[in-house]
Amino acid sequence: TGHLSRAELALMQANPYKPFLDKAVRLPYPPGSTFKFVTAIAALEEKLVDPKARVVCPGYLLLGNQRKHCTHQHGSVDLQEALAQSCNVYFWQAGQTVGLERIARVARDFGFGSPTGIQLNGDASGRMPDKEFYEKQGQFFVGFSLNAAVGQGDVEATVLQIAMAYAALANGGRLYEPQILERVETAKGEIVKTFEPKLRHQVSVSPATLNLLRRGLYDAVNKDKGTAFAARVLGLSVAGKTGTAQVKETIEQPEGTGWHPDRDHAWFAGYAPADKPKVAIVVLIEHGGMGGQVAAPVAMEVLKGYFDRNDTP
């Protein structure tokens, strides 16, 4: 790419987009609704929630004097529908029932709160708070559990951590250590060394729970009320979850970019093909807005390009 002048270097270092950072591994973000599968697993594995029980979402939840707003009024939903439609009210109530400690335990089992092991470009740990985290800061409130249940508050994860977690959801609960190299070859194509997959561990989740989650993730893309339904590509079988993560901190908007620093981060996390997964994918559009409107279409385009060139989905 050539060389940067001192002026160009200073300009890029001051750029609010932080172009020198490997954001896939080094910057943690609030994962938003892509994290809801953790709350679902905690509730199901502890048998604290009946997946067929319905919760009525009027568009908000009252917590003391505070009214927490959902994305819209979902009406009556069960767990599978709540995943597909990304109903915050359902998962806030689940968070109250399950509690922060159980959510944190499942999250850590899926790799949140610790480095991925890729050993590249400052692999960040992210953050999965528990009661001790808040007690050290002063006091624990129930609202912290509700925030964590929907991937907000002090929960932070890297793009790669979420990709690893969704790969584990797709492959039956095997959490692998990410690797860059598959093999080393000579100029003549002779294999010098191969790098076998490294399994970190098997996550503690039953096949029944995984199957229910997969149905919800499939519906999110393929059912008309799913948050990624509008982005689906005919002939491409995808399961996944959108996320629209609220941003706490804002920075000055660069002039003329049309970029809004106070706009939510847009997420899509998923895998394809939905019935026999081969690849996992995570798309994050910083300050992009709604995950279903912004990140999901990008993910579908990437997946279509991958399967057009490499395989048949």
For residue 217, pLDDT over 60 is answered with: yes
Q: What percent of the chain has pLDDT over 70?
A: 94
SS3 243: strand
Find the length of the chain: 313
Please report how many Cα atoms fall inside a 13 Å half-sphere around the Cα of residue 84, on the Cβ side. 22
On the 0-12 / 13-18 / 19+ scale of CB atoms within 10 A, 256 is exposed
Q: What is the pLDDT of residues 151-178, one digit of tens each?
A: 999 999 999 999 999 999 999 999 999 9
Q: What is the pLDDT of residues 175-192, one digit of tens each?
A: 999 999 999 999 999 999
State the Cα–Cα distance between residues 310 and 313, nearest whole angstrom.
9
Q: Which of 117, 53, 98, 84 is nearest to 229 (CA)?
A: 84
pLDDT averaged over every residue in the chain: 93
**Where on the phi/psi map is residue 32: left (φ > 0), alpha (ψ -120 to 50), or beta?**
left
For residue 259, pLDDT over 60 is answered with: no
Residue listed under structure tokens 């989740």? 205
pLDDT at residue 163, as a whole number: 98
**Which amino acid belongs to residue 66?**
Q
State the Cα–Cα distance between residues 87 and 157, nearest whole angstrom.
21
Contacts of 220 (CB under 8 A, 6+ apart): 83, 84, 85, 86, 226, 227, 228, 229, 239, 240, 241, 242
Are residues 191 and 184 in contact, defined by beta-carbon separation less than 8 angstroms? yes
Q: At CA 265, angle to CA 136 and CA 100, rounded to 5?
A: 30
User: Span 200-217, mean pLDDT?
Assistant: 97
Neighbours of 32 (CB within 10 A): 27
Q: pTM for the whole thing?
A: 0.92
Are residues 93 and 36 in contact, defined by beta-carbon separation less than 8 angstroms? no
Q: What is the pLDDT of residues 115-150, one digit of tens each?
A: 999 988 889 999 999 999 999 998 999 999 999 999
Neighbours of 14 (CB within 10 A): 8
Element (H, E) at 198: strand 198-202
For residue 273, pLDDT over 60 is answered with: yes
pLDDT at residue 262, as a whole number: 67
Q: How far is CA 59 from CA 17, 76, 82, 149, in A?
A: 34, 11, 13, 17
For 153-176, b where at least 16 C-beta lie within 10 A, e where not — what string? bebbbbbbbbbbbbbbbbeebebb
pLDDT at residue 312, as a whole number: 60
Output DSSP code: residue 43.
H
Are residues 270 and 56 in contact, defined by beta-carbon separation less than 8 angstroms? no
State the helix-helix crossing angle for 207-222 and 36-45, rounded to 10 degrees: 150
